[in-house]
Structure 1
Amino acid sequence: MKELLAVPVLWGLDRCLKKLAVERLEGRTVSCCRDRVRFSLVRNEGAFLGFLKERKGMLLLLNLFLFQWMLLFLLPLARASKAKGVKWGVSLLLGGGLGNLWDRIRGRAVVDYIAFAPRFKVHFNLADFAIFAGGILVSLGRLEEAEHR
């Protein structure tokens, strides 16, 4: 399944962008697109919107469990699927999941660096976008398969 090559590529690109954010955005904010997009460094110790911030051990275990679930359930699903959306979606989910899991294991916090107007308090990273896009692709691919049955 050649789509799985996206996993290490995405993970590597995510690592590079997070490294750049740590090196260049510490203590500063860069705006673009008429201040609709802002780049600033945030170390998110919780999940989305700080969920489980005070329970880091539980959050790490949850992340490990979810990543293992993706390997055990979604990988076979992608291999068996004829829909490209499912194959690419699972690859994006794995690559993004690995990127954020790596941050949690290594630094106990996920590095986020991009926010959008009007809610600049919510920050994201490439891995987050990959997880979101992967979920959509898997869902659409499964719908496509269901229509062809």
Structure 2
Amino acid sequence: MIFYTIAAAAAALDLGIKQYVLDNVAEGQDLEMAGGHLILRKVYNRGAAFNLLEKYPQFVMKLSALLGAVLLVRDAFLMRKKGHTVEKAGMMLLTGGAFSNLYDRTMRGKVVDYLAFKSRWKRLSRLTFNLGDICIATGALLAALSIRK
């Protein structure tokens, strides 16, 4: 049961931060945090990662929903296995992040991104993401590293 809590907590925390950003951060406003190393801003992404396919938001939403369904089926089979603790934790982080972003796509028509790293390279400083994205990347890495041969 703890693994489902990881997914729910990841999604809830990301959605809560997104709502805070929507309510309290103006578009174009950059709020420095963590000694100026992190930036809080409000950016909308209608495409996939890095705005890929942004001109096709309906396709991205349908693909995200399909992949979310596949993810749920895979999670259900994984949760029935004994052990696999790191893989399960990783998959639940991935699932929580994915469903937070899927919620945004279906309810808002776009994903709210809000975190950036301050860098001397402008291109890097412009990259904006959310906690769901971090959960997806971290979860995928944990799951991949834990798969037994």
TM-score (norm 1): 0.89
Equivalent position amino acid for 1:22 in 2: L
2:31 counterpart of 1:26: no
CA distance in 1, matches of 2:5, 2:47: 29
The corresponding residue for 1:5 is: 5
The corresponding residue for 2:62 is: 61
**Counterpart contact for 1:11–1:96, Cα < 8 Å:** yes
The corresponding residue for 1:132 is: 137
**Counterpart contact for 1:31–1:38, Cα < 8 Å:** yes
- Compute the displacement of 1:73 (Å): 2.1
CA distance in 2, matches of 1:137, 1:23: 33
The corresponding residue for 1:92 is: 93
**Counterpart contact for 1:6–1:95, Cα < 8 Å:** yes
The corresponding residue for 2:16 is: 16
- Aligned-pair identity in percent equals 26
**Greater alpha carbon shift after TM alignment, 22-31 vs 131-140:** 22-31
Matched length: 144
- Compute the displacement of 1:69 (Å): 1.0
Deviation beyond 6 Å, 4+ runs, structure 1: none
Equivalent position amino acid for 2:127 in 1: V
The corresponding residue for 1:42 is: 43
Q: Unaligned regions of 5+ residues in structure 2, if any? A: none
Alignment root-mean-square deviation, CA: 1.5
Equivalent position amino acid for 2:132 in 1: A
Equivalent position amino acid for 1:94 in 2: T
CA distance in 2, matches of 1:53, 1:64: 16
